[in-house]
Amino acid sequence: MIEALNGAGPARPLVLLTVIGLVAAEWRWLARRRPAPGGYDLRETAASTLIAAGNRLIRPLSAALLAPLFLWVHQHRLMDLQPRGAPGYLGAFLLVDFVYYWLHRSSHKVRWLWATHGVHHSSTRFNLSAAYRLGWTDLLSGAWLFALALVWLGLPPLVVLGALGLNLLFQFLLHTELVGRLGWLEWLFNTPAHHRVHHAVNASVRDRNFGGVLIVWDRLFGSYAEAPADEPLRYGLAGREPSQNQNPLRIVFGEWLALYRDLRQTRGLRQALSLLFLPR
């Protein structure tokens, strides 16, 4: 969601160095323990890194364009939901996580949102470098409207964006195959095991486990799934050749082009709007 309006502030360099260090450590560990074709693919990781670099150029501009809108909406909010103390901030965090669940679920079901979010699912390797393979077109797809709704409801913009930033940092750690099952924690929290299922293209578990920090939303709303016991998980985009995951521009705009081709086949405005905005 435009990287929580390009948040992280002074801590951004430290976050960046931590991400680079963890990716390098995972890469080295997998290279020693799991020879090719397991672990990392150099071309896919390079593509993910170039996409991330493009994001660093695009997202500050997007954030600058959206910041005045967020401030204006907050001035015309319905209520005043300024958190007070630890319970208040915890409640705000849970509310943001709940809304994130519906954003994430919508991003898989609505083609207009998927055109951006699909970039994140295009890697055929599930590792920490796939976590920062994020689309460039958040401003166009409008995923930020979910955060704006919380600001309109009454949460301060910095609280919403801070909670989203923490949510995304937590999810970075979920993109690994090195962590196994975590026992009772998996009843409440999203874990690497749950997130591997989320990224899988296996027909039996596709489009499941949308939670950000908490997995309880999936359990409550019928979108939870365990990994299949009789087949390995496969990653990437259904119907896309692995070679298409190495060209950054094709990755970033591939789903938009697919949407455009399908849109040309529609008949009439009603069918076109259904394709663009109604759940699949």
pLDDT one digit per residue (tens) for the chain, 280 residues = 545 545 445 556 777 788 888 888 898 888 887 655 557 888 999 999 999 999 999 999 999 999 999 999 999 999 999 999 999 999 999 999 999 999 999 999 999 999 999 999 999 999 999 999 999 999 999 999 999 999 999 999 999 999 999 999 999 999 999 999 999 999 999 999 999 999 999 999 999 999 999 999 999 999 999 999 999 999 999 876 655 568 999 999 999 999 999 999 999 999 999 999 999 8
Rounded alpha-carbon distances, angstroms, from residue 223 to 2, 12, 82, 165 = 25, 33, 31, 24
For the entire predicted model, the pTM comes to 0.92
Of 175, 151, 195, residue with least CA distance to 48: 175
Domain limits for position 89:
2-277
Residues in a beta bridge with 189: 214
Residues in a beta bridge with 214: 189
Supply 23's token pair. 């990716």
The number of domains in the chain is 1
Contact 160, 151 (CB under 8 A): yes
Burial of 60 (0-12, 13-18, 19+ CB in 10 A): middle
